[in-house]
Structure formats: C-alpha cells, structure tokens
C-alpha cells in the first residue's frame, strides 16, 4: 500500500488542473472587474476594494486614491466594491447612505445618475467581449486559421442527411434561419439539437433549396476520452484551407467567432430548462479546470483560444437577468427607469435571495456533474 498516493494525487491535481485553471481564469476575471473599475473611476465613484478571488487576502496594497487591491485565496471570481455598497454583491448600504454628507454622496455609487450606474455595471461584461475579440484578432492576425467551407463533400449512407436529400457539393447557407459561414458553424449548430427538426437552406447549382432534417443522437468519445452526446446529420465537410488574415479581416473573423460563441452559449443555457442531456453537459469550476488542462496539453495557442471562449461565456452569463449578477442589477435599473424610482428595499432583498438560491443551485448541479465526470461518484 502506497501511503504517499494521496499526496501525489494532490500534487498532480495542482500541477495539471489547478494551476492551468488559475492561469486561465485570473486574467479574465481581472479584465471583467477592470471594466467596472475604469468606468466607475471615470464617473467619479470612489472604489474601496478591487479583489481577484474571494475570501482572505493572499497579498494586497492600497493605491493613492484609497482603493485596496488584493488577491484572495478562492480563485472563483472577483469583485469591485464601491463606496456606498454594503457588500461585494453591490447591495446598497441604506443605513450608511442616510448619514452621508453631500461630499460623500458625490462619490457614492448609489447616488450616481441611473445611466452612469448602468454603464458601470455593463462595463464588466463588455470588457469580457472586448478581451475575447482582442485575443482572437491577435491570434488570427499572427497565425491565421484553418477554415472549413460550409460545403458537403460526402453524405453517409443511411444517415438523416441522405434521407432528407442532401447531396455532395451542396453549400449550407443557413440552419433555422441562422446564417452559416463555415462547416464549424454547422457542427456547432447541429451538435446541440439531436432529435430536433431543422430547416436547412443549401445552395445547389446556383439555386437555393430548402431541406428538412432531424439530427440523430450520437454518443462519442473525444480525444481526451470524454463521453459526449451530440446531434449529427451524417455529412462530411470539404477540405479545410489555411487562411491568413490582415488586421481588418482578423477583426471581422474574431467578431464572427465571438458571435458564434454567444449563440452557442445561449443555446446551451436555454436547453438547461428543456433538455435533460443538456443539464448533464453543464460544467463547474472543476470541469473547467480539467478542460483548461486538457486544452493546454494541445498547445499554448489552443489555450489562448479557449480563454477567449471562457471570456465570452463569463461576459454573457453575467448579463443574465439574475440578481447578484450584473444582468440582475441592470434589470433593477430597468424597473427604476420605468417607475421613476428604485424598487423597494424588500423587493430588492427578495430578488437577491432568489438570485443567490439560483446561483447556488446551478453551482451545486455543475459541481455534481464535474464529480461524476471525474468518476468520484
């Protein structure tokens, strides 16, 4: 019996999973919080704390404007705490607000005009989109990319595509009204829709033809041995081509890729409430740590592209209208704009509690999925 095995396992996890995860998530979180911070400073809000991670601080410092910058022990996010906020979730400190002087109110977040508060809150997710586009633009400009045309080279016998009338040489134009620019778009769109009828427009001999097909469910193993359940049509794409991009072309392609990630993420989140198989694909911190380690094994550039994907996902999820998230605050501001006054304290408190319950539920579900994938259960 090797009594040192648990120590070895902890060390292996630290090197192969935890460190790549921290290297991936830390700059994404920093950039998100930097968006909040920069716009808040521009509008004259006093920033009390800028934290990467939660819990006790590992180290930190205070800048000349009184902001406490720190790196904390739990690397699962971060926050910026403004003057006038009660906590890291940006809950207004109503007791403190009642006793503020005019000078203090001028630098307190809750007393800023509605449009300024909305822009400060939205700046975090926007920063994530900007970061992703910047990463992808640099990647494409420097190294180019393999691009697969949205054409069909082969239709597998007995497949849904053959039954629906697809032919070699067809160029796929759109799926369910969604524009298709490459075969990667086809794969990403179809993979999430096993068993769902699709309307596919193809270009054939200079004319557009509308076809109806239902992807079959395929259970496959990826290159890391992970089991995936995907929708497939039974078609093969045309030969990929290596494409070099100039700065404008790289930016255009980066924006398209970012939009594709947004569409895919929205599809996946929507299916959490309608599709049991989609729920099983939800990843938590452990799953993302494992994925980042696996991608890092492929190449540094692959890890960079994965970072862009995670950055878009973080920005988009933060825009969901769930209290505690940026989107929840924007939802409250929307009510404030319509009503002409903030929501009542009780309504906001109930919303924050519901938001906390939703977030904890999703976190527990994602963590359970991760533990099952890691064969701990």
Which residues are catalytically annotated? 33
Strands (DSSP E) found in 215-276: 216-221, 227-232, 235-237, 241-243
- Interhelix angle for 345-373 vs 285-298, to 10°? 50
Q: Which of 184, 181, 131 is nearest to 313 (CA)?
A: 131
State the DSSP H helix or E strand holding residue 69, giving kind and residue range, or none if neither.
strand 68-82
Cβ(209)–Cβ(201) below 8 Å? yes
What the block records as the tokens of 127 is 């920063």
Strand order in the sheet with 178-179: 178-179, 171-175, 198-204, 207-213
- Interhelix angle for 300-318 vs 285-298, to 10°? 150
What the block records as the tokens of 351 is 């919303």
CA dist 146 and 52 (Å) reads 35
Which residues lie across from 92 on neighbouring strands? 85
Which residues lie across from 93 on neighbouring strands? none
What the block records as the tokens of 350 is 């109930």
Q: Which of 75, 100, 88, 89 is nearest to 286 (CA)?
A: 75
What the block records as the tokens of 261 is 């990630």
Which residues lie across from 74 on neighbouring strands? 54
């Amino acid at each position: 019996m090797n009594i040192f095995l648990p120590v070895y396992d902890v060390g292996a996890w630290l090197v192969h999973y935890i460190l790549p995860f921290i290297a991936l998530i830390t700059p994404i979180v920093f950039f998100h919080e930097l968006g909040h911070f920069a716009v808040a400073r521009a509008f004259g809000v006093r920033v009390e704390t800028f934290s990467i991670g939660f819990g006790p601080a590992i180290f930190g410092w205070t800048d000349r404007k009184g902001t406490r910058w720190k790196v904390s022990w739990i690397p699962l996010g971060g926050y910026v705490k403004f003057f006038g906020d009660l906590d890291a979730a940006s809950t207004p400190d109503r007791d403190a607000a009642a006793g503020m002087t005019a000078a203090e109110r001028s630098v307190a977040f809750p007393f800023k005009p509605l449009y300024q508060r909305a822009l400060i809150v939205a700046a975090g997710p926007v920063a994530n989109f900007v970061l992703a586009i910047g990463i992808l633009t640099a990647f494409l400009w420097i190294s180019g990319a393999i691009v697969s045309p949205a054409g069909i080279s082969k239709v597998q016998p007995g497949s849904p595509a053959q039954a629906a009338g697809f032919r070699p040489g067809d160029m796929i134009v759109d799926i369910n009204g969604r524009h298709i620019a490459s075969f990667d778009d086809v794969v990403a769109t179809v993979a999430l829709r096993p068993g769902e009828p699709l309307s596919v427009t193809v270009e054939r001999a200079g004319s557009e033809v509308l076809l109806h097909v239902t992807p079959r469910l395929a259970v496959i193993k990826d290159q890391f041995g992970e089991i995936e359940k995907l929708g497939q049509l039974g078609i093969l794409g045309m030969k990929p081509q290596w494409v070099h991009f100039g700065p404008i072309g790289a930016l255009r392609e980066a924006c398209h890729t970012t939009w594709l990630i947004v569409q895919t993420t929205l599809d996946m989140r929507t299916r959490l409430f309608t599709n049991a198989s989609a729920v099983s694909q939800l990843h938590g911190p452990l799953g993302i740590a494992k994925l980042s380690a696996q991608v890092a094994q492929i190449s540094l550039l692959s890890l960079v592209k994965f970072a862009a994907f995670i950055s878009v996902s973080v920005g988009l999820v933060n825009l969901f209208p769930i209290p505690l998230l940026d989107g929840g605050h924007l939802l409250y501001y929307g009510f404030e704009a319509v009503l002409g006054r903030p929501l009542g304290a009780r309504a906001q408190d109930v919303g924050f509690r519901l938001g906390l319950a939703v977030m904890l539920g999703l976190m527990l579900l994602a963590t359970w999925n991760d533990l099952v994938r890691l064969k701990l259960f």
